[in-house]
Amino acid sequence: MGFSDQRFDVNLSILFTELPLLERPAAAAAAGFTAVELWWPWIDTATPEQSELDALKKALEDAGTQLVGLNFYAGQLPGPDRGALSVPGDESDRFRANIEVAADFAASVGCKALNALYGNRVEGVDPQIQDTLALENLVLAARAADRIGAILLVETLNKPESPLYPLVSAPSAIEVIDKVNAATGLGNAKFLLDIYHLSMNGEDVSQVIAEYAAKTGHVQIADNPGRGAPGTGDLPLEQLLDELKKAGYDGWVGLEYKAADAAASFEWLPAEARPAR
């Protein structure tokens, strides 16, 4: 197997960031990719003007790129906030206001995966209050995703870079996913298996794959150390992706690494691995 047997997409919120948002889909297409994903692009608002949503839709369509993953509103990302849905007050309200906006936009471009970052712990707030709020909001998000035929993703981040984020192990994310599915009965909450974050947490990634591949709805990769392209660090990414394939995962693998020059960072990837299949 190997890299050429995978379906890769480009995360346009971390790659091609030297370009304006609306120029990134065309840049990804020029590099040979027909699938992309995005964090919520409007970090200052959960409810952008319809004209902004329409402009992004047109940019994706004009480039011939399929959006395969989209984050719900998550505050300042990249940045310190790391999510909104478990943060009482304005941030949680913004997340709720964003749910149908994000779902409707995803439906308009055929996106079938919506990612909900859990949110940081807040000083002075009982963690149980945050967890109860998170479950309520994730249930709403799962139902919105189901309405458009999509899955809801929940991901693990890493403690060194996100010390206030509570889901910093695969089991912690799976526990939340199981609670959401039990509450909705929909079964559409899935694990976003990010190999970089798992490795930063010191987890045995092969073991995580063996245990949770069946609950995985999306995969993201970056090498470690450095969060660079495959081959810039020490992770056996080709081997790990082969293990995912053998375990039954046949979905998208998002390229969520940092590169000063995105177009020049794909030398590791065979050209035949880039187009959607």
Give the chain's length.
277
Question: Which DSSP string corresponds to 20-40?
Answer: -GGGHHHHHHHTT--EEEES-
Q: Using an 8 Å Cβ cutoff, are 92 and 137 in contact?
A: yes
Question: Which DSSP string corresponds to 217-256?
Answer: EEEEE--TTTS-STTSSS--HHHHHHHHHHTT--SEEEE-
From 91, 155, 203, 243, the catalytic residue: 155
61 is catalytic: no
Q: How many angstroms separate the most distant Cα atoms in the chain?
A: 52
Q: Say how far apart CA 169 and CA 200 lie, in whole Å.
A: 10
91 is catalytic: no
SS3 at position 166:
coil
Q: Calculate ∠ Cα 65-22-101, nearest 5°.
A: 80
Rg of the chain (C-alpha set):
17
From 37, 203, 243, 256, the catalytic residue: 256
Catalytic site positions: 155, 256
